[in-house]
Each structure stands twice: as C-alpha cells, then as structure tokens.
Structure 1
Amino acid sequence: MNPTMLAAILMIPFLFLLLARRKVISQKEALLPSPPRLPFIGNLHQLGSIPHRSLYKLSKQHGPLMLLHLGSVRTLVVSCPKIVEEVIRNNDLVFATRPMSKLMDVLSYDKNDIAFAQYGESWRQRKKIATTHLLSSQKVKSLSFDRVEEVPLLLENVVDAASRGNGVICLTEILNSYVTNVITRMVLGSWISKEKKTILSKLSHDSSPLFYEVSFEDFSPNLKWLDVLSGLDRKIESYKKNWDALFEDIIKNHANESKEENGKNNTYFIGTLLDLQKDSSLGSTITNEHIRGLTMDMIIAGIDTTFATLDWCMTELIRNPEVMKKVKEELRKVAQGEDMISEELLGQLSYMKVFIKEVIRLHPPAPLLLPRESLQECQIQGYNIPKKTRLVINAWAFGRDESYWEAPEQFKPERFFDSTVDYKGKDFYFIPFGVGRRICPGMDFSMAIIEIALANLLHRFDWNLPSGITIEDMDMDEGGGVIAFRKQKLELVPTASMVN
C-alpha cells in the first residue's frame, strides 16, 4: 500500500478525535451561563446603580461564573471563591493585565502606574519599587511620626465640631479630612496646603463614580461621538488637567521640603521616588511619568479605600453596641490610664483587629475588584475563554457565601477568633484587597492609618446617635462607584470618655 495512503488512513481516528474535541469546546463556550441581552448594549442595562449588588442577584439566577456582554466587550463575572482559586492557580498570569480604556489611561497616568496599567516588564519594575521602597513594613513604620501627629488633630476636630453643632457632628466629613491629611502628608510632605488637600480629596472621590461612567467608545469604537455629546470626554479631559496642574506644583515645591523635621526622618513617598530617579544602581529607569502615576495611585487608592473602611467601622460599632463595648473595654485595659493609644500598643488590640476584619468582610472597600483581561485563550471550569475577555471578581459576594461563612449576614467579629483567615490573598473567600499578581500592595499602609485613628476615637469618646434617630434609621446602602462609600453620612454625638 502507498505509504502516503497508509498514513492518511491512520490519521483518520485522530482527526475524528480532534473534531469531537472542538465540538465539545464550542458547546462549552455556547453553554457559558449568560443573562439575555439587548441589541447593541448587551447587558449594560443590568449593571444598575450599585453594580456589585446587581451582579450578585444575577449570579443567583445564572450561576457563579457568568458571561456578560457589555456592549461588544465579553466580560466574565465570578461570584464564587472556588472559581477564583482555579483562575489564580492556573491562569493568574493569563489574567495579569488590565483592559485598555480612556479612563484607565487617565487613572494610570498614561499606563505609568501599578493599579490600572497593563501588565509587562515596566509594570513589574514599578510594582517592585512600590513594594520595596514605598509600602514595605519598614517604610510604613518609618512614617509613624506623621500618623501619630495627625491623631490629636483628628480628636481636636471632633471636639471643635461638637461645640459648634449642638453636640452633633458629621463624623464622615471629619474622617475624610483626617485620612486626606495623613495620606497627603505621607505621600507628598507636610508642605501641602489646606486648599491643595481639598482638591486632592475631591479628585480622589471623583475617580470612583467616574470609573463606572459608560464610555461608548470603549464598548463600540464607532460611537466615539456619543462620548463627546454626553460630555464624558470633556469630564475626563478636565480631570486629567487638574492632576497635571497639581503635579507641576508638587514636584516644584518638593525641593523646598526638608527631609529632616523635628529630628525625625521624613522621607515622603515622592521624595523617595525622586531620590530613586537619580540612583544609577536601581537597574531600571524612573521617569517623571512613573513618579506621577505611582503618586496618583497612593492618593486615589489610599484616600478612598481607607476613608470608606474607617467610616464603615464607626457605622458598624453604632449598630452593634455590644461590639462597641468589647472594643472599648479592651482599649481601657491596654491604655492603663493613658490619654492616648500609641502605635506600640496596637499589637495588643486583638479584638479590635478581628472587628476590622469583620467590617471589611461585609464592606470590602472595592466590592468589584478592578477588572482584568486575558492575554491569551484559556479554560475556566472547562469553558473555553477567548483572548481579550474581561474578568470581574465580585469580592462583595464572597463575604456572603454560606459555603464559607456561617450566618454571613450577621455581624460577628468572633468568627475570626482562633482563625488563621486573613485578607492577605491566601484565603480565596476573603480577598477585599485582591489576589494574585494584582493584589493591592498597600494593605499595611492603610491598616496602620485605620487602627491608630479608630483606637483613639473610641478611647477618648463615647458615641451615640442624635436624639430621635435609631439604628433602624441608618441606611446601609452604598453609593455608586468603584469604592463602596456608605451612601448616608454618619452623624453622631461624641462625649468625652472616662479613660482612667
């Protein structure tokens, strides 16, 4: 028999197997659960004003791995820890990048940051700089002087506001001011004026709702003109110009900021970056754009997530008086009659730490983790996932998964007693700061700010709702945006505690 003919006959079974495998993959892709969609816009109309809640409801109907079509963009939504574990263990590198969009370009300072920029060698170098030189435990500890100096100012603001408002204060606004002050000070230096801090705070908060603005160009390039008509292009351009103007002032004025202040080493983040820019031994080049992108990350991500968590902490304490009592008793025991709780004492506050964990379980600062995008074709749960598919992880849903949490809707810090579960990314059902290569490197930075403020606010004051307001009157919904701020501002009545 002709050798070519023989080879062809022997190949026939393999061809059938290959065709069968392709058919299975095609069927798997076709069967990927997906809500019905409308022409042109797909499932955009189903995101709602609070997307993480809308997607959670959809996942109850269509499953924990769900395909949405946001315009022309294929988007996988994951609402199950088990699936995320599979993604990270098998395809973390595949989903290591961010999707391109007009807003992402602005928030990444033209792809020069670490939070929003796309994956690659330059991104890896920037992340290494951030984790080694900006957000290491040693660096966070070295800035304790700045945190400690801001706490008495926070307490004074509480007293001053109470004296001017018939005892009732808007604690949300005071907490926002405190977080803005301490983060801008640690990132930029103490020269930043009150006016500049106000602008930075506004730009930080504006980024959250802006993130969910629909850009028609991103979902259908031929409709770029609609972004002009809707005013989105003008809004984005104005946002970018405000940052540009601020950075010009920041870099120019930094030269006047002394690194030695009151005998303390105050090498702020931007100073560290400018010093590294001149360091020829670093092994990589740091441009002015890199400095702006990294600084922008520290301000946007730092202010919003830290402030939102601190505000939720005080809200849950008011709603759970028994928890408040336990936290205050622990503080009284640890303080031993001192007026202030120092950073050295924070390590002894075991109950307060599990309380904070419970807060971010129910109220993760970024309930939908920033979207990822597949760099190549891969498989998840047996489904074929094409290249350039977006991945959205609903971390808010994870905190309500009954497979991992007993009575998940109950606020119960004790669930973390005698537990090794932590938010550092190893426990896939508790990932409020992300997971894998794209995990937020600023967790310790944020927690240090939250713990010292919370400890002293509770040690120095007793807190109650204004007369006529009950716990049932408190609205626990989040505002729309990538950061889950509580929609309703927190108004409380502080009274001085007996600390001895």
Structure 2
Amino acid sequence: MALRLGTVTTVVASSAAAARDILQRHDAAFSGRFVLDGTHVSAHYTHSMVWLPASSPRWRALRKVRSGELFAPHRLDMHQSLRQEKVHQLVSHVAQLARESAPVHVGRLAFTTALNLLSSTIFSTDLADLDDRHVKPGEFESVLAELNVTVGLPNLSDFIPEVAWLDLQGVRRRIEGLFQRLHAMMDEHIELHMRARAAGEPTKKNFLDVLLDYRNTDDNQGFERQTLLKLLSDLFSAGTDTSSATVEWAMAELLLNPSSMSRARQELDQVIGSKEQVEESDIGQLKYLQAIVKETFRLHPPAPFLLPHVAETTTQVQGYTIPKGTRLLVNVWAIGHDGKVWPEPEKFMPERFLEKEVDFKGRDFELLPFGSGRRMCPGTPLAVRIVHLMLASLLHRFKWKLPVDVEKKGLDMTERLGVNLSMATPLEAIATPV
C-alpha cells in the first residue's frame, strides 16, 4: 500500500510476503534508514547503529561489537547468574507484596527488573528500586520512560521535512532535554569506570569494559566518547520497554485465559518441580511457555511498525516500482493479525505455535517482533532470555488473579501507541505464593 504522508511517499508492507521482499530479497536496496527528526539532537543519528546507514564503516563497527561481543552467546552465558539474581530479587519482592495482600504492578516491576539487569550488566550497579511504594522512581528510570514515549509521538517534522526547522510540536526540544539528562547520568558512570581502570583496579568484565577495550583496538572506527554514550542510550531505551511490555501483555492474556495459565503452570510443575528457581537452562524444555511468548509477540508486538526503512535505489517489488528515497514501513501488527495466516487472529491461542514451526528470529516473516535482515534488532538474544526467565519465574512461584474491582468491570486491554506498544492502563494483579 502506497500513501502520501505529508510531502513524503510511504509504502506500507502489511503481509508476510511483502515483508519478505523488503527485508530479505531486497535487503540491500531497502537497508537505508529514515532518520526521525528528534534524533538529530546532539547528532545522535551520526553515532547510533539504529539510524546510521548500513553501508557506513561506523555502522559495521557497531554491529560487530554488538553482535560479536555484547550479545554473543558466550558473553550472554557469562552473565547468566546475574540475570538469575535480578529475577530472584523480582520474585522476592512479589512475595513480599503477596504477604501484604498488595497488588503487583506487573509492568512497572518488569521494567525495573529489566533496567537493573541491563545496568548491572553494563555498569555493575543497580539504577532503580523495585519498591516504588516508598521510593519515587529514580531519575534514570523516569528519563527512560519519558524518552520512549516522546520518541514515539507522531511528529509533523517527519512528514513535512520543509518545516522541521521550526520544531512546531517541540518534540526535538523535549528529546534534546531528555538526552542531556540521560547522557549526564551515564557519563558519571563512565568517568568513574575509566578512573578505576586508569588507577589499575581490576576490571569487572561488564559491557562497559568490553566497549572500553574495543576503543583501543585498530578497527574501532572512531569509537569516541559520544559514540559510547549513544550506544548505551540505545541499549537502555530498547532493552527496558520491550521486555517489560511483553511480560505485562503475556500476564494480562493469561489472566484473561485461565486455561492457558493452568497449562503453563502444569508444564512448570513437570519440568521445574520443587526447585525454587527457574533457570535459563530449563527454558528449552518449556515448550508451552515458549508458545505463550510467541503468541504474545504476535498479538502485541513490541512496536506496531518496524523502524522506517528508505529505498537506496529504485527497485521492483511484486510488480510495483518503488522509487529511490521512498520511505518503507513494515506493519508488524497487521502481519500478526492476518486472518489468512492466523486462524481466529484476535484469539489468544498459544497452542497454534505447538502445531507449526514459526520462530521470531527473522527467518519466518509471519512473526517479526524484532525485524529481519541486516537491520534486525541485535539485542534480540538478550531480550528473549529476559522475557522467558521473568515470565516463567512469576508463573512458577505464584498463582495470579485480577483485583476484584478490575474483574467486575473487565481488564482494559487498550493499546497505547508509541515507539513501543504498551498497555494504556497498567496491569495490576494479585499474587499468591504456591
């Protein structure tokens, strides 16, 4: 489907076949990235793998360090015990809430857990407090949440570039202020880390150490301080909302579908048994849990659209000519709700993934929560581990129900549109230890 959005020609791919053509068959031709106006602040787009041209040396260097180092299997395995520790802290906090008969703010706690998991992996320290009843959300936490909302706002400057310099909605100014606050906080941690290294203190072999070591290699491609700040900004903004929103949606769907909740718990009882804690090594045996996560990605993808691509050359796709410079959007939400591919697409049915082999790693275009091709999200391996471990642990240790007032009026499943697809009304649930 071709649209004229403002002064920009945009092609929207809303089927698996069209997505395959754009992301696989013509991957190189459509590997360009449309740079959102808000990311021009502080020249963010010139240092960010998300927005850099895929042909640039810096993009290739960033891709190499993210895929080959930060998110490589051996590196993720090194930090497995850290993920277990953070999820154990989550479970302990939920247990405390259960003893007090207090509701669990599922998305909020999942967000905080994901943030602390990332900050511990990157800086070897926590940046947020799970107990938000007595402690206001921290500065880092608040900035990240606001940044993810603001970047997702429809911005007139992106549809009529001729007036972008006016910043009519003030989006660029808001993003600039948020980036300044975020970078200042991260800069403190980087500076402390660099001083410790200069003083000869033992390195902690966290993500920041890996990145600082990479700066000293011959192929660092201008990996200066600003590039480091932008890379960390991308890691935090992408790695918190995506994981927490998926856990929240999955819990909401399970609360509305008690038979699925029961089947998931039965599987956990069979595989985990009396063990107190679910381990990452258990996830491969939890086939129904994996199906729940896939079904959640299908119904509620992390983002309704993949970030916009741009045609680098004029290309023929399915009999249509797509001129150079055309903006391309892949409608992940529409693909996941296509009745030709998914029977009863609005229904939550994890069983459908037990009957057919469909994965979300970019090879099956019916399910594309993280994209595909060279522009696929490089943090997918970490996000997948976090989501499965958090969800399995919450289901294994607790029985869940909705608060009485929510059960009476019905759970609000309205989606809030933004850079991430989150619940408009945050999910609250009552946990009972088992």
Instruction: Return the TM-score normalized by structure 2.
Output: 0.90
Q: Deviations over 1:265-287 (max 9, x none)?
A: 9522222101111123x464422
Asked if 1:332 corresponds to 2:272, the answer is: no
**Residue in 2 aligned with 1:157?**
93
Q: How many residues align?
A: 424
**Residue in 1 aligned with 2:72?**
136
C-alpha distance in 2 between matches for 1:185 and 1:421 = 33
C-alpha distance in 1 between matches for 2:426 and 2:271 = 31
Asked if 1:213 corresponds to 2:213, the answer is: no
Q: Deviations over 1:464-499 (max 9, x none)?
A: 1112432871111111201001111111111111xx
Q: Deviations over 1:146-195 (max 9, x none)?
A: 1111122112221333445x432322222222121112211222264759
Q: Report the CA distance between 1:112 and its aligned residue.
A: 1.2
**Residue in 2 aligned with 1:6?**
none
C-alpha distance in 2 between matches for 1:224 and 1:106 = 12
**Residue in 2 aligned with 1:464?**
401
Q: 1:407 to 1:230 in 2, by over 3 A?
A: closer
Question: Of 76, 79, 104, which residue of structure 2 is paired with 1:169?
Answer: 104
Question: Of 401, 404, 425, which residue of structure 1 is paired with 2:338?
Answer: 401
C-alpha distance in 2 between matches for 1:153 and 1:215 = 39
Q: What is the SS of the residue equivalent to 1:470?
A: helix
Greater relative contact order: 1 or 2 (C-alpha under 8 angstroms, separation 6 or more)? Answer: 2
Q: 1:368 to 1:169 in 2, by over 3 A?
A: same
**Residue in 1 aligned with 2:10?**
75
Asked if 1:277 corresponds to 2:212, the answer is: no
**Residue in 1 aligned with 2:386?**
449
Q: 1:256 to 1:156 in 2, by over 3 A?
A: farther
Aligned AA for 1:397? A
Q: What is the SS of the residue equivalent to 1:116?
A: coil
Question: 1:308·1:486 contact (CA, 8 Å) conserved in 2?
Answer: yes
Aligned AA for 1:88? L
Pairing of 1:6-17 with structure 2 (within 5 A):
none
Aligned AA for 2:83? R
Q: Deviations over 1:400-446 (max 9, x none)?
A: 11221122222111111143210011111111110111111211101
C-alpha distance in 2 between matches for 1:107 and 1:424 = 32
**Residue in 2 aligned with 1:357?**
294
Q: 1:221 to 1:344 in 2, by over 3 A?
A: closer
Question: Of 127, 140, 156, which residue of structure 2 is paired with 1:200?
Answer: 140
Return 5+ residue gaps in structure 1 as ranges. 1-65
Answer with 348-357 or 288-297: which moved more.
Answer: 288-297
**Residue in 2 aligned with 1:246?**
185
Q: 1:199 to 1:257 in 2, by over 3 A?
A: farther
Q: Report the CA distance between 1:217 and its aligned residue.
A: 3.9
Instruction: Return the TM-score normalized by structure 1.
Output: 0.79
Q: What is the SS of the residue equivalent to 2:321?
A: strand
C-alpha distance in 2 between matches for 1:79 and 1:179 = 31
**Residue in 2 aligned with 1:50?**
none
Question: 2:303·2:420 contact (CA, 8 Å) conserved in 1?
Answer: yes
Question: 1:94·1:376 contact (CA, 8 Å) conserved in 2?
Answer: yes
Q: Report the CA distance between 1:365 and its aligned residue.
A: 0.6
**Residue in 2 aligned with 1:118?**
53
Q: Report the CA distance between 1:196 and its aligned residue.
A: 12
C-alpha distance in 2 between matches for 1:221 and 1:168 = 46
Q: Report the CA distance between 1:205 and its aligned residue.
A: 2.3
Q: Report the CA distance between 1:103 and its aligned residue.
A: 1.5
Q: What is the SS of the residue equivalent to 2:3?
A: strand
**Residue in 2 aligned with 1:373?**
310
Q: Which runs of 4+ in 1 moved over 6 A?
A: none
Aligned AA for 2:79? L
C-alpha distance in 1 between matches for 2:156 and 2:351 = 46
